[in-house]
Amino acid sequence: MENILAAGVIILLSLLLYQWLKRSWFRPLPLPPGPNGIPLIGNVFDIPKTMPWKAFRDLASVYGDVLFLRVPTQNIVVLNSTQAAFDLLEKRSDIYSSRISKIMIALIIPKQWNFALMEYTPEWRVYRRNFHQFFHQRTVHNYHPIQLNQCRGFLRRTLGDSSQLSQHIRLIFSGIILKIIYDIDITDMHDEYIQIAEEAIAALSIVQVPGKFWVEFLPIMRYIPRWVPGAYFKRKAEQYQSIVAKMKDQPFDAVKRNMALGKSGSSVAATMIENIHADAKDTAAQREQEEIARSVTGLAYGAAADTTTGAAQTFFIAMSLFPHVQRKAQEELDRVVGPNRLPDFDDYDNLVYIQAVALESMRWIPVTPIGVPHALTRDDEYRGFVIPKGTMIIANAWAMLRNPEDYPDPECFNPDRFIKDGRLNPEVRDPTTIAFGFGRRICPGRWLSSDSLFMTIASVLHTLNIHPILEPDGKKYDPFSHRVDGINLTIEKVPCTVTPRSEAAAALIRQCAA
């Protein structure tokens, strides 16, 4: 047994040495700049496991906006400027649109059904096309009544019990997406479907953090028994696998049962199931199409609620820390909407400052500060450097959205930066062109997310005042001290309280409950 282990170690070290020598010596052009690595293990200790977006930005200040790191079996390039991101991920999207095949994802999802994590293949295009037909820019207006209903439900719940603000916020977007996708009505965060999505998205967020699990750097580790001390990753994968499978299958199966009983209402899942039965020619084709439908609806269910919730949390935190912004937004709402009704989507064009508040919420604390990494499918040259095939490409949206050249005084929450002469200023970079990703992997649900965030901001500020909660030492709240680690920047608890702006505002909320 000892001889076998020794032979395995020798083989592993030999492979690592070969990879290191190959990367170091056999390149016609230099690699992009980055910190010197340690032979064999490279930059393993330069890759942070928490808040990597800040660490990558700090490294970029030393080595430049295109940062190169390497770890065993994987090259990594971090793009810290919009120029580099657009040059590569947009203009060369034909070779920068794939994904890295991650060991932990493969262990959690044996057949990779989450098309956001799929490699750039014809199969991915089929999944993306099925998703896009329900959420493109010319379709999402169909969901406005659901969005209005959920925003007003938030107002009612908050008026009744403002102590559960964080849960009420999450319920807005979970309620929107569950109703759209599965025609499921939920009333509180204890709902079974909400719990499933929360746990599954947390698991998928954790396993995508670069450097979180060593098996991604040393794939041979996947073959060690689960009881070995270094096989912690296997035990976590087993735990996450059943959680993620429930997110894809449980609500979809509920729709199928309701359709069989004639009880199903209008939903994305029901429409896809009807189309399958109408178009699929045989049982095998039906199974294949149903797997696509489960995947498309499962991804929307899990991802849409999580990302938009994060942007709304940022909005609440910002209003509590920058009260002059809150007052200015309320002045616009009083002028445009008036005291006798709640805002709706017909007010959109006239609520320019509210639009700017939404944009600044996307910029100030981006929900996906390093996004989902891309993968390069062939060797490429950029600025006189070579980027090898298979390199993981990380777009550091945090660094881009905090760039003072594009956004002066970036730490300050300032919606006015987007406004000129009473309209949105097209000369200022739109943060959604960064926050939603790049190229062919841009978020396909961005139109629904933007509409939901706008209506939430307008509804809340028209009727409620947002107040800060101070830290125990009396200082202003630091949102990052209460974050949940993962690839998404999620705040555990929103440090705010809310009260009705007036008795008339409270009456408006009660009227919408009738």
pLDDT band at 164 (very low <50, low <70, confident <90, very high): confident
SS3 419: strand
Residue range 443-455: average pLDDT?
Answer: 94
Residue range 210-227: average pLDDT?
Answer: 70
Residue range 217-235: average pLDDT?
Answer: 71
The residues near 401 (Cβ < 8 Å, ≥ 6 apart) are: 363, 364, 366, 407, 410, 431, 434, 435
Residue range 247-253: average pLDDT?
Answer: 88
The residues near 284 (Cβ < 8 Å, ≥ 6 apart) are: none
Per-residue confidence (pLDDT) for residue 6, from 0 to 100: 46
Per-residue confidence (pLDDT) for residue 309, from 0 to 100: 87
Torsion angle defined by CA atoms of residues 425, 431, 436 and 442, in that order, rounded to the nearest 10 degrees: 60
pLDDT digits (tens, 9 = 90+) for 256-273: 999 988 887 899 999 999
Per-residue confidence (pLDDT) for residue 27, from 0 to 100: 59
- In the predicted model, is pLDDT for residue 246 greater than 60? yes
Per-residue confidence (pLDDT) for residue 322, from 0 to 100: 95
- In the predicted model, is pLDDT for residue 1 greater than 50? no
Residue range 345-355: average pLDDT?
Answer: 98
Give me the residue label for tokens 């993620």: 244
> Burial of 44 by CB count in 10 Å (0-12 exposed, 13-18 middle, 19+ buried)?
middle
User: Quick one: what percent of the chain has pLDDT higher than 70?
Assistant: 87
Per-residue confidence (pLDDT) for residue 52, from 0 to 100: 87
Q: How many helices (H) and strands (E) does the chain have?
A: 18, 12
Distance between CA atoms of 139 and 137, rounded to whole angstroms? 6
Per-residue confidence (pLDDT) for residue 425, from 0 to 100: 97
Distance between CA atoms of 413 and 411, rounded to whole angstroms? 7
pLDDT band at 300 (very low <50, low <70, confident <90, very high): confident
Annotated binding site for heme: 443
Amino acid letter, residue 228: V
- In the predicted model, is pLDDT for residue 204 greater than 80? no
Q: Which residue has the higher pLDDT, 388 or 482?
A: 388
The residues near 442 (Cβ < 8 Å, ≥ 6 apart) are: 436
pLDDT band at 217 (very low <50, low <70, confident <90, very high): low
How many other C-beta atoms can be found within 10 angstroms of the C-beta atom of residue 78?
30
Per-residue confidence (pLDDT) for residue 2, from 0 to 100: 45
pLDDT band at 190 (very low <50, low <70, confident <90, very high): confident
Q: Which helix (H) or strand (E) holds 497?
A: strand 496-500
Which of 300-309, 319-328, 438-447 shows the lowest mean pLDDT across its residues? 300-309
Distance between CA atoms of 235 and 226, rounded to whole angstroms? 7
pLDDT digits (tens, 9 = 90+) for 118-133: 889 998 999 999 999 9
Q: Copy the structure tokens of residue 231.
A: 């096989």
pLDDT digits (tens, 9 = 90+) for 485-495: 666 777 777 88
Using alpha carbons, select from 221, 511, 514, 483 the residue that is nearest to residue 365. Answer: 483
Amino acid letter, residue 294: R
Annotated binding site: 443
pLDDT digits (tens, 9 = 90+) for 41-50: 888 888 877 7
Residue range 330-335: average pLDDT?
Answer: 98
pLDDT band at 12 (very low <50, low <70, confident <90, very high): low
Q: What letter would DSSP give residue 437?
A: -
Task: State residue 189 phi and psi, 5-degree precision.
Answer: -75, -5
Assigned fold of 2-512? Cytochrome p450 (1.10.630)
User: Quick one: what percent of the chain has pLDDT higher than 90?
Assistant: 55
Per-residue confidence (pLDDT) for residue 428, from 0 to 100: 97
Per-residue confidence (pLDDT) for residue 514, from 0 to 100: 46
- In the predicted model, is pLDDT for residue 347 greater than 50? yes
- In the predicted model, is pLDDT for residue 72 greater than 90? no
- In the predicted model, is pLDDT for residue 390 greater than 80? yes
- In the predicted model, is pLDDT for residue 17 greater than 60? no
pLDDT band at 337 (very low <50, low <70, confident <90, very high): very high
Alpha-carbon dihedral sign for residues 429, 433, 436, 437? negative
- In the predicted model, is pLDDT for residue 173 greater than 60? yes
How many other C-beta atoms can be found within 10 angstroms of the C-beta atom of residue 156?
13
